[in-house]
Amino acid sequence: MRIAVVFGGEVAAGDAVLAAGDAVVPAGVAHERFFVAGNPLHGVGCACCAPRGPAAEALGRLFLARARGAVPWFSRVVVLADDRGVAAVRAALQGDAVTRARFMDAGNLSG
């Protein structure tokens, strides 16, 4: 079963957090950060320049930490990000095969 990814909202017990930039993360929560380039030459998730974008890499690190037991088990990731960060995570969920195999957009349960 893939791990649900939600965008914003409350962080509940058993959640992990994916934070863009300097977003505030609640204390004691498993989390990873990613940074969106200030002026990307191409769109978010552009495969010609960055086959795996920063959001996909951060989700990968979070998944591996969970699998290795380095963080508490979680079944949901809450994304704390601005519009550009959300776009980067959605691009990873749609365009990165490894991310798509491990995670799903909880707002798009068909995919």
pLDDT digits (tens, 9 = 90+) for 51-104: 678 999 999 999 999 999 999 999 999 999 999 999 999 999 999 999 999 999
Judge whether 110 lies within some domain: no
Domain boundaries, position 60: 3-105
Query: pTM of the entire structure?
Result: 0.84
Instruction: Note the pLDDT of residue 48.
Output: 55
Judge whether 49 lies within some domain: yes
Judge whether 15 lies within some domain: yes
Q: Tally the domains of the chain.
A: 1
For residue 31, pLDDT over 70 is answered with: yes
For residue 42, pLDDT over 60 is answered with: no
Instruction: Note the pLDDT of residue 1.
Output: 86
For residue 9, pLDDT over 80 is answered with: yes
For 1-111, list the strands marked E by DSSP. Answer: 3-7, 15-20, 31-34, 76-80, 103-105
Judge whether 95 lies within some domain: yes
Judge whether 74 lies within some domain: yes
Instruction: Note the pLDDT of residue 93.
Output: 96
Instruction: Note the pLDDT of residue 81.
Output: 96
Judge whether 57 lies within some domain: yes
Alpha carbon of residue 29 to chain centroid: 14
Q: 92 in helix, strand or coil?
A: helix
Are 76 and 66 in contact by the 8 Å Cβ rule? The answer is: no
Instruction: Note the pLDDT of residue 44.
Output: 54
For residue 47, pLDDT over 70 is answered with: no
Judge whether 111 lies within some domain: no
Judge whether 48 lies within some domain: yes
E strand or H helix at 54, and its extent? Answer: helix 54-68
